[in-house]
A and B are shown apart, each in its own frame.
Chain A
Amino acid sequence: MKNFVRFLSKYFITRLLISLLVIFIGVSIVFLIPRLVPGANPAEMAIRRLQMSGAYLPAESMEKMKQALLKLYGLEGSLLSQYITFWRELLKGNLGPSFASFPTPVITLISRSLPWTVGLLALTAILSWGVGTILGGIAGYKNRGVWVRVVEIVSNAVRPVPYYILALLLLILFAYVLHWFPTGGAYRIGLTPTLSWNFVKSVVKYGFLPALSLIIVGIGAWFLNMRNLVSNITGEYFVSFARQMGLKDSIILKSYVMRLAMPAQLTGLGLQLGFIFNGTIITEIVFNYPGLGTLIYTAIMQSDYNLVMGTTLFSIVAVALATLIVDLLLPFIDPRIQYVPS
């Protein structure tokens, strides 16, 4: 109990405050940057979108429309007043309306895309991390055998292939040649999203190729990373000592080697899970998959401040929280890590 209180007072509260500060600074930067970019004025961008698409906006009416839109978007005041209003609304949970999709609330746009991104990326990240870490651990420890060589060659071969090409290859093979999977989308046209077996089956079928493409790339990276870590640890004296003591290989691998390699892998996983909220724009483009990637891209391209804020807010909070959680977990994984001196 005494140790726990010391941990809370000496480490946890400070660490939590640092996380909150990171979030505050991150959000403030994201508030400022689009507003400081020359020409990134949402009202002008709205007019420009209309012009670019060929809609007729005669000369005389443009300035009038710009002023009316600025008023509508609530961008008339000074930067400071906008900043104060922003925090006031944010603390109430209001991210405001999207400018490019006005007046649709930012939270509505995010909530439409978020489940698809989180569902696909969390699953593929955890799956590829788990498989890559286990295979990499075994390969690094054994460092011989046919299957180790095969996995190594495949991982090294896949890694440099640009993701776009790999995704297209999968699409050509499984969707256009073999017709096993659909060419794109999140589920069959005409289905209504419900918790029915038909819908779930359709989501699995439509999500299979995007997931496979991400897993193939992910496993390779985690595999090579873990193999390198384990190879280094295997050369340490305490591993040789354990072997000479007659401990079983499986025990050495699990309790001595892999455990020590885990902090780095876990930190990587934590960060990757945090970055999930950035989406994967290429996956979304190749597989017509709905997600946060296209949302963020559109937001940046159209100077949609509120949407940029909303999407990055999730990412900032997620990364800050993920690193906090990983930091708190590490002492349980690796006893050498201690935040409070005993």
Chain B
Amino acid sequence: MWNPPALAQELLSVLLPADARETVCGDVLEEYRESRVPALGERRADVWYWRQVVGIWLRTYWGFVVPVILLLVVGDIFNTFRAPSGASYLDRLPMLAHLPLSPFVAVGFFVMAGAYGSWRTREFAGGLVAALGTFVVMWLFMVIWGTVTFYPFAHVQQSNPYWIQAWQWSTHRAHPPSTFGFNPDTPDEGFLNWIFWDNIGALLFGGVAMLIASSICGGLGSALGLIAARQRPATPHNA
């Protein structure tokens, strides 16, 4: 008998509320074995199974992903497009207007996703999958967003004093020996080349930072959600 990928089966099980876990996993497994593998072959049936898992994740947690993505986009736009002096347009706004764009807000969404995930599934792992999934979708979006906006944004950035100063600071100053084992002193590096690698670096370092934040904050949220779930009465299904 054919089996879907073990990781996908495990994720599907962790994603579903306790009262739907057995029946929905059974439905998807039955469809996979009886219809999809005979019709599509094992490899494409595996892809179908993964699509069901990702679809259920997105359907459940899109409400956490969309606000974080919007904050990322707004933050990036304000960071790129600056006043002719190089100052951020955000600086003119009251302090309260800065708060939604703070990294603490994104971290707060990891906590909330974790809490909701474990509350809904009554499983610690359910919350962790919610928070880590939020990170994965956010990071993939950042990669796509960074790629699509690279040239138009760089075109604007190369005529703004803030970004010119950042480029000159990065490429023309005398760097001390680097703790990363290389000296990035590259006085001949052009603006576009510099900002391309600057973006790649931001994606990689930002990705690692968000992975750590989503694991820790997602874990914290999951623990809180689990405590709340234990106070919740059982649904008619699992009573």
The answer to whether A and B assemble together is no
Binding site for B on A (CB under 8 A): none
